[in-house]
Amino acid sequence: INFSVFWKIKDAKEFLFNTRNPSETVRAAAESMMRQVIGRTPIQPALTEARARIELDVMTGTQAILDQYGSGVEISQVQLQKVDPPAAVIESFRDVQRANTDAERVRNEAESYRNDIVPRARGDSARLVAEAEGSKRASVAEATGQAQRFLSVYKAYAQAKDVTLKRLYIDTMQDILAKTPSIVVDDQLKGVVPYLPLDTSALPRPAPAPAAAQVLPRAGVPQ
């Protein structure tokens, strides 16, 4: 760990007479406090977001030590310059750093995928629900219409059963006869044979008779 300590004289008398070597005293106090602060700080925060807190803690702790000595020195700033893991574990630390970076990347990708797929799934779900509701309303309306028609027919039937039955019979026969040719015969005609125009084109035709074999005499052969 490399760091700088900026200080100034706040009491000239103490500075001159209470310490033999003020610069070394400041150095020793600052290094001691830095070891204490780094010793209780995890390495990852020490390399990243905890740098400002470390600088403040070292400055405050160093000032307290110097005040106990009556050094006449005021610490104005502590600045971290370089913080590296110990050489024995630096490779392992870099592996951990890479793993953390990969994990953060995967988390970001998963979050991006979630932000994309969840709204899309919600939109599809809402669309399907709307389509189902529309189909439901159409089916209910159709069933209601059919029920109303049935009730209307039943009401008419209840009021005039014979008339309603005849009308239903006539409607049914009209549907049937509209699809087939009809011939009306007056049964009041006596002694008259009615002419029925049968459609002979619909009757099956007889198969043609097989041709008779014909034997021809060969040339030069007596008969």
Three-state SS string over the chain comes to CEEEEEEEECCHHHHHHCCCCHHHHHHHHHHHHHHHHHHCCCHHHHHCCCHHHHHHHHHHHHHHHHHHHCCCEEEEEEEEEECCCCHHHHHHHHHHHHHHHHHHHHHHHHHHHHHHHHHHHHHHHHHHHHHHHHHHHHHHHHHHHHHHHHHHHHHHHHHCHHHHHHHHHHHHHHHHHCCCCCCCCCCCCCCCCCCCCCCHHHCCCCCCCCCCCCCCCCCCCCC
Q: pTM for this one? A: 0.43
**Residue 60: CATH number of its domain:** 3.30.479.30
Q: Is residue 47 part of a domain?
A: yes
User: pLDDT for 168-191, tens place per residue?
Assistant: 788 888 888 777 766 666 666 666
Q: Is residue 33 part of a domain?
A: yes
Tell me the C-alpha distance between 220 and 223, whole Å.
Answer: 9
- Give me the domain span that covers residue 63: 2-84
- Mean residue pLDDT of the chain comes to 80
Residue pair 7/73 in contact by the 8 Å Cβ criterion? yes
Q: Is residue 27 part of a domain?
A: yes
Q: Is residue 178 part of a domain?
A: no
Domain count across the chain: 1
What angle in degrees, to the nearest 10, is found between the helix axes of 22-39 and 51-69? 140
User: pLDDT for 62-100, tens place per residue?
Assistant: 999 999 999 999 999 999 988 777 676 667 767 777 888
Neighbours of 31 (CB within 10 A): 15
Q: Is residue 125 part of a domain?
A: no
Over residues 104-130, mean pLDDT: 86
Q: Is residue 34 part of a domain?
A: yes
Q: Is residue 20 part of a domain?
A: yes
Q: Is residue 153 part of a domain?
A: no
